Amino acid sequence: MQVKVLFLHMKGIVNRGDSFRRRRSRSNSLLPPSMAQEAQQAAEAVEKPPPTSFRVALLGASGVGKTALIEQFMTSECINAYAYDRQTNEPIEQSVCISLNGEESELIFTVIQNTKTEMDKVNPPHAFLVMYSVVDKASFQRAEDELSRLQEWDMLRSRPAVLVGNKIDLARSRTVSTQDGKCLACTYRCKFSEISIGINHNVDELLVGILSQIRLKMAANHEGSPPPWFHRSRGMTRATMRARQMFSWMFGKEDSKFKNCENFQTL
């Protein structure tokens, strides 16, 4: 199985590239290649426990890059991202192992085209990625509908969600501002990220952020302290965020709430 090795440092994400869970051993160097490989795999099976698996659902309108994002997660090389926009909306599921800060985890990504019929409410995924295209206003509205539905189903209380704006490389065609994205993310108290799959911008950081949020949320759930903001009405929260957005626009200083929604190292 392919492993993406990422390290989180003070200066950001360090990508060691794609590797395989196979290591040379001096004790096997004199054996025939086939026997050496079998001995290697047997030793690793004993020494290394299997990674913890987490399921992540990708939601959003067609053509926003859900399939392309999963494919980019699988490799450190740039892919032809826009070719995936023309593919059919067939269900896709891929897994990627991440070695982050010395602990290996497996993220299983699944594209969900119709949340109402395909979402497992009894055994929901561990996290949600709600995607839209910054050049498609309708996809942004679809993302808001998805977040609203998840909150109505009470899935955001114990599971992290990330609002992802894709295609920021198409700056001249942008119709959804960064501030609009942050405002929506803050309304539903989820994290926010803008990426470009086409130029592989901010994709590894997003992958690390997803895993970090899952671990943080699981730790918080274990402590048994649900966030108090769920008791506030969504309308009141949205109005507050709009006011903060206007304040940021008028005075040219970003609100602390908007800054925090991009910090994946905190809940």
Closest CA to 60 of 157, 138, 170: 138
CB 143 within 8 Å of CB 180: no
| pLDDT tens column, 125-163 | 999 999 999 999 999 999 999 999 999 999 999 999 999
b/e code 70-101 from CB counts within 10 Å (16+ = b): bbbbbebeebebeebbeeeeeebeebbbbbbe
| pLDDT tens column, 54-95 | 999 999 999 999 999 999 998 877 777 766 665 555 557 899
Q: What is the pLDDT of residue 81?
A: 72
Distance CA 64, CA 131 (A): 7
CATH code that applies to domain 54-260: 3.40.50.300
Confidence of residue 13 (pLDDT cuts 50, 70, 90): low
Instruction: Give the single-character DSSP code of 205.
Output: H
Q: With 90 as the cut, is the pLDDT of residue 173 above it? A: yes
Q: What is the pLDDT of residue 89?
A: 53
Q: With 70 as the cut, is the pLDDT of residue 20 above it? A: no
Mean pLDDT value across residues 195-206: 95
Closest CA to 205 of 131, 98, 122, 102: 98
The tally of CA atoms less than 13 A away on the side-chain side of residue 85 is 13
Closest CA to 264 of 160, 135, 152: 160
Confidence of residue 124 (pLDDT cuts 50, 70, 90): very high
- Residue 34 backbone phi and psi in degrees, to 5: -65, -45
- Residue 93 backbone phi and psi in degrees, to 5: -140, 125
Provide the mean pLDDT of the chain: 80
Confidence of residue 43 (pLDDT cuts 50, 70, 90): low
Taking the domains of the chain in order of start, what are their residue ranges?
Answer: 2-47, 54-260
Distance CA 90, CA 247 (A): 43
Q: Which two tokens stand for residue 173?
A: 């065609």
Distance CA 169, CA 140 (A): 17
Q: With 90 as the cut, is the pLDDT of residue 5 above it? A: no
| pLDDT tens column, 107-118 | 999 999 999 899
